[in-house]
Amino acid sequence: MKVVVVGAGLSGLASARSLQRAGHDVVVLEARDRVGGRTLTRTIGRGVFDLGGQWIGPRQKRMHALVRELGLDTFEQHVDGRKVLLLGGGKDPQRSEYAGEIPSLRITDLAFMQLLLSAVDLWRQQVSFEGLRTELNRLERRMDAASVASLSGRVPDSVRGVFDAAFRTIFGAEPEDVGLLYWLAYLNAGEGLLSLAEARGGAQQTRFVCGAQGLSDRLADALDVRFGAAVRRIERSDSGITVRTDDVAYPCDQVVVALPPRPLQSLVFDPPLQSARAERLRDYAMGATTKVLLTYERAFWRDAGLSGELVSDGIVSVAFDASSHDLQQPALVAFVVGEPAVRLAAMAPRVAEGAVLDPLVRAFGPHAARPTEMTTQAWAAEPFTGGCPVGLLPNSAGRSGAMGLLAGAPEPRIHFAGTEQATEYTGYLEGALQAAEVAVRAVEASS
């Protein structure tokens, strides 16, 4: 059987490899001149760094199995030392340091945060992507039309600053942009808010020595990947499927579409997708994430007893120590996400540089103002991605929208992969692999 896979990100390549191993004739079409999708690894200075997705967590079993199979080396995210909290926004935020996972707040705010985390953890366990396919339960009916802002808007300002920083980093969006049900199902898929927000023991625990794009590079070595092949149309008839780029038509028996929501929205299906699925697809937006990688001559923050981790309610939401595994190239990485990422993109380059450096100087001292190199990756400007880290659904999407493309009956001979289709660790590399497994089973079942 001949299968075309659209998209050479991790999910598309994992799908293609499984199908090829099952004996199918597989070709992968990729619009870019590289594999990896939302992972992007570059050599900068004396180290190898990720400008896209870069971490895996301890309970992401598929990812760890793939890493072992491919023989890739990993190392732990540096977390030793005190963390920095900047709250208050504006030109004079309040700076404090803390150890552990919970920021240093007033005792009343800490109590509120613990209560909030406990409530969210209880709610998210009652809301799952699988469960949202069926009739809403009582809790879900109450939350059906609400956005996350309906929750975050009720918390004290100091707690809200920490909450919003974590939220923006996970979604690349503002709380009012994401439906409450979708958020809770997303948290449940990732085993809770703390699991997704933390480094030690959480989704930011482990990095790749060769960079996360190395996963896709290794998978692509044994596959037929065609670069510069942006798919425009997928035509389905009784005799099969034709996948069309600007220049070439690829006839096949089955197709796996492994694209983020934004480029998927511009893809023409003939005949059109089922109305329910097409409506869900139109509801999707993409998060806005800009990563700024800053290299330095030495890891001065470590010398000062700091971990390199920053949480802020300003233009930089979070920062981490991004130094190379051998510390030959010290580095920090700053995340500008959500509405601040939109503002940053509109600034003149020198102004944008200063806007990022200012909170880092406040957090880590004057040495932060003098990086040897400053590399910015604005994912919203990537034409074949349209945003990062994940597709999201607004409060207007309601219950059926919360399932995105998983809603509705299967499309004959057309199957969807990509991390947005996952029900486990949606939005993460682990989710990309789980979605690939589901797509491959669907191909085999319909062959």
How confident is the model over 149-198, as pLDDT tens digits? Answer: 888 877 777 788 888 899 999 999 999 999 888 898 899 999 988 889 88
| Beta-carbon count within 10 A of 41 CB | 22
pLDDT tens string 100-126? 766 666 666 666 667 777 888 887 887
Please name which of 291, 299, 293 lies closest in space to residue 367, comparing C-alpha atoms: 299
pTM of the model: 0.93
**How much is the pLDDT for 129?**
75
Could you give the 3-state DSSP secondary structure of residue 108? Answer: helix
SS3 per residue for 263-325 = HHHCCEEECCCCHHHHHHHHHCEECCEEEEEEECCCCHHHHCCEEEEEEECCCCCEEEECCCC
Could you give the 3-state DSSP secondary structure of residue 428? Answer: coil
**How much is the pLDDT for 447?**
74
Q: How far apart are CA 278 and CA 211, in angstroms?
A: 35
Please give the helix or strand (H or E) that residue 341 lies within, else none: helix 339-346
Please name which of 243, 232, 271, 228 lies closest in space to residue 26, comparing C-alpha atoms: 243
Q: What is the CA radius of gyration of the chain?
A: 22
Could you give the 3-state DSSP secondary structure of residue 358? Answer: helix
**How much is the pLDDT for 246?**
95
- The 8-class DSSP code of residue 327 comes to S
Q: How far apart are CA 304 and CA 359, in angstroms?
A: 17
pLDDT tens string 323-346? 999 999 999 999 999 999 999 999
**How much is the pLDDT for 110?**
64
220, 36 Cβ separation under 8 angstroms = no
In angstroms, the first-to-last Cα distance of the chain is 8
403, 179 Cβ separation under 8 angstroms = no
pLDDT tens string 65-84? 999 999 999 999 999 999 99
**How much is the pLDDT for 140?**
67
Please name which of 294, 299, 295, 309 lies closest in space to residue 81, comparing C-alpha atoms: 309
Q: How far apart are CA 199 and CA 101, in angstroms?
A: 9
In the chain, % of residues over pLDDT 90? 71
Mean pLDDT of 141-154: 79
The beta strands (E) that lie in 201-262 are given as 206-208, 225-226, 231-237, 240-245, 249-252, 254-257
Q: What are phi and psi of 58, to 5 degrees?
A: -65, -25
324, 172 Cβ separation under 8 angstroms = no
**How much is the pLDDT for 398?**
47
| Beta-carbon count within 10 A of 96 CB | 13
pLDDT of residue 407 exceeding 90: no
Q: Which residues contact 332 (CB under 8 A, 6 or more apart)?
A: 293, 294, 296, 301, 308, 319, 320, 321, 322, 360, 364, 368
- Diameter over CA atoms, the chain: 68
Scored b (16 or more CB within 10 A) or e, 10-24 reads bbbbbbbbbbbeeeb
Grade residue 370 by pLDDT with cuts at 50, 70 and 90.
Answer: very high
**How much is the pLDDT for 121?**
83
**How much is the pLDDT for 205?**
96
Tokens 């999910």 locate to 11
The structure tokens listed for 384 are 């074949």
**How much is the pLDDT for 112?**
67
The structure tokens listed for 241 are 């499927």
65, 14 Cβ separation under 8 angstroms = no
Q: How far apart are CA 270 and CA 237, in angstroms?
A: 9
384, 364 Cβ separation under 8 angstroms = no
Cα–Cα–Cα angle for 340, 342, 343, nearest 5°?
65
